[in-house]
Amino acid sequence: MAETDPAPQATHKPRLRWIVLIGAGVFGVILIAGTIARIHGRHRLHAENVAALVPSVTVVHPGGQAVDTLVLPGILQAWYSAPVYARTNGYLRQWYVDIGQKVQAGQLLAQIDTPDVDLQLAAARAALGTRTAQRDLARITSRRWDRLNAQNAVSQQETDERRGNLAASEATRHEAAADVERLETLSAFKLILAPFAGVVTSRATDIGALIVAGTATTQPLFTVSDVTRLRLYVRVPQAYAARMQDGFAARFTVPDYPNRQFESRLIHSADAVDSQSGTMLVQLVYDNAQNLLKPGAYAQIAFTFHGPVPQAPPPVRIPASALLFRRDGTTVALVDEHDHVVIQPVSIMVDFGTELEVTGLDAQSRVINNPPDDIAQGDPVKPREDGHGS
């Protein structure tokens, strides 16, 4: 039996070893590459998750310094306006003026029939005549007893009694006279007179109407208004209160004349700010000699200012949707140079509806519009610019 050659076996062993080593190396490379790819993917996913947690916000820039014209609503009122009431009971006999008619001071507006008062006045005058006769008789009697007392014909007691009767008669006569004067004054109220020159703006009675005076439900018979001048009342925000000086000129418009402006001037201010609305009531006057405007009408008043408010930062305009209402007050959320949130307090000067005029910001501030409710100081954000402002 022949012997096996050991040379081929020795040659196969190194080759097998190299194959195993190469396979192990390739497997290791594949394992390392897979591990690196998984670690890289994990880091990238983490970075994406972190980036996704940073909210995107819309950033607007305030509209620079606000315009120097403040437009506010107001109401026109008559310079004088007096409701005319009846001061006596009766029935309306006749009225002589109607709404829209001009009247002079003391002009007769209406006349009232007062049968009850007339009868009371007649009775009072009769009572006064009786008291006058009694007083005259007491006076004659007192003088007669004074002469008899001087002759010692009567006693002093009887004389004093006659003097007392005269004093009592005089007092009752004065009482009756006062009652007559009261009823005469009451009877004079049957004539309804205009308190001043003006225009009749209301009439709430007619012929034959029952007139009851002095009750809580009594309605005025007429209203007379002096419309030669009109008062214009406006509530001005506190931020502009320092500018409201007597004589300040302002223009206004009314719906009756939409393309026409009217001149007025400020004559008085309340010098007090309403704690609920944060405004101050001011009064302007308009010369209505041409009788163009009517009391009770609404107006839009434009106050034009020159220069900024003394010792006050310039106001800017921002969207009303940028406001945050927190415990600390009214604030807005800003974005700093590192794209982090800064909570900034502001003061509202004027509310224009969709826009607000505020202080505490400048034209370079980056204000977050529609900020999330849970936004907080120092939160990272991704700002997106918006075209609001100038």
In this model, does residue 213 exceed pLDDT 90? no
CA-nearest of 62, 60, 56 to 375 is 56
In this model, does residue 11 exceed pLDDT 70? no
Residue 138 lies in a domain: yes
pLDDT band at 184 (very low <50, low <70, confident <90, very high): very high
In this model, does residue 299 exceed pLDDT 60? yes
CA-nearest of 185, 161, 181 to 173 is 181
- Average pLDDT over the chain reads 84
Residue 12 lies in a domain: no
How many other CB atoms sit within 10 Å of the CB of residue 288? Answer: 19
Amino acid 215: pLDDT: 80
DSSP H helical ranges for the chain = 6-53, 115-150, 156-188
Taking the C-alpha atoms of residue 125 and residue 175, their distance in angstroms, rounded to an integer, is: 12
Domain that holds residue 167: 83-193
pLDDT band at 84 (very low <50, low <70, confident <90, very high): very high
Taking the C-alpha atoms of residue 256 and residue 259, their distance in angstroms, rounded to an integer, is: 9
Taking the C-alpha atoms of residue 293 and residue 284, their distance in angstroms, rounded to an integer, is: 14
Burial letters 125-136, b for 16+ CB under 10 A, else e: eebbeebeebbe
**CA distances (Å), origin 148, targets 155, 157, 168:** 9, 12, 21
Average pLDDT over residues 349-368: 79
Coil, strand or helix at 211:
strand
In this model, does residue 340 exceed pLDDT 50? yes
- The CATH number that applies at residue 347 is 2.40.420.20
Pairing of strands 222-237, 198-203: antiparallel
Coil, strand or helix at 369:
strand
In this model, does residue 223 exceed pLDDT 90? yes
Could you tell me if 241 and 187 lie in one domain?
Answer: no
Residue 128 lies in a domain: yes
Residue 375 lies in a domain: yes
Residue 221 corresponds to which tokens in the numbers above? Answer: 């018979």
Residue 238 burial (10 A CB sphere; 0-12, 13-18, 19+) = middle
Taking the C-alpha atoms of residue 381 and residue 51, their distance in angstroms, rounded to an integer, is: 10
Cβ atoms of 88 and 187 within 8 Å: the answer is yes
Structural domains of the chain, count = 3
Contacts of 121 by beta carbon, 8 Å cutoff, 6+ apart: 180, 183, 184, 186, 187
Taking the C-alpha atoms of residue 217 and residue 131, their distance in angstroms, rounded to an integer, is: 39
Could you tell me if 253 and 182 lie in one domain?
Answer: no
Least confident of 106-115, 173-182, 362-371: 362-371
Could you tell me if 160 and 95 lie in one domain?
Answer: yes
Tens digit of pLDDT for each residue in 242-269? Answer: 888 888 889 999 998 988 999 999 998 8
Could you tell me if 275 and 319 lie in one domain?
Answer: no
Could you tell me if 107 and 181 lie in one domain?
Answer: yes
Amino acid 64: pLDDT: 55
In this model, does residue 48 exceed pLDDT 70? no
In this model, does residue 1 exceed pLDDT 50? no
The torsion of the CA quartet 292, 297, 302, 303, rounded to 10 degrees, works out to 100
In this model, does residue 65 exceed pLDDT 60? no
pLDDT band at 10 (very low <50, low <70, confident <90, very high): low
Among the three residues 304, 334, 366, which one is the final residue of a domain in this structure? 304
Could you tell me if 234 and 324 lie in one domain?
Answer: no
- The CATH number that applies at residue 254 is 2.40.30.170
Could you tell me if 103 and 162 lie in one domain?
Answer: yes
Tens digit of pLDDT for each residue in 268-283? Answer: 888 898 888 888 999 9
In this model, does residue 66 exceed pLDDT 80? no
Residue 204 lies in a domain: no
The torsion of the CA quartet 212, 216, 219, 220, rounded to 10 degrees, works out to 90
Amino acid 53: pLDDT: 55
Contacts of 170 by beta carbon, 8 Å cutoff, 6+ apart: 135, 138
In this model, does residue 14 exceed pLDDT 80? no
Residue 378 corresponds to which tokens in the numbers above? Answer: 């120092």
Sheet of 316-319, strand order: 316-319, 355-359, 347-351
Residues forming beta bridges with residue 103, ordered by sequence position: 198
Among the three residues 285, 304, 323, which one is the final residue of a domain in this structure? 304
pTM: 0.57
Could you tell me if 341 and 258 lie in one domain?
Answer: no
Average pLDDT over residues 159-180: 92
Could you tell me if 183 and 234 lie in one domain?
Answer: no
Taking the C-alpha atoms of residue 119 and residue 10, their distance in angstroms, rounded to an integer, is: 159
Could you tell me if 154 and 247 lie in one domain?
Answer: no
Contacts of 364 by beta carbon, 8 Å cutoff, 6+ apart: 61
Tens digit of pLDDT for each residue in 101-117? Answer: 999 999 999 999 999 99
Residue 335 lies in a domain: yes
Residue 37 lies in a domain: no
Could you tell me if 299 and 323 lie in one domain?
Answer: no
Residue 298 lies in a domain: yes
Could you tell me if 327 and 261 lie in one domain?
Answer: no
Among the three residues 241, 270, 304, which one is the final residue of a domain in this structure? 304
Average pLDDT over residues 34-47: 68
Residues forming beta bridges with residue 203, ordered by sequence position: 222
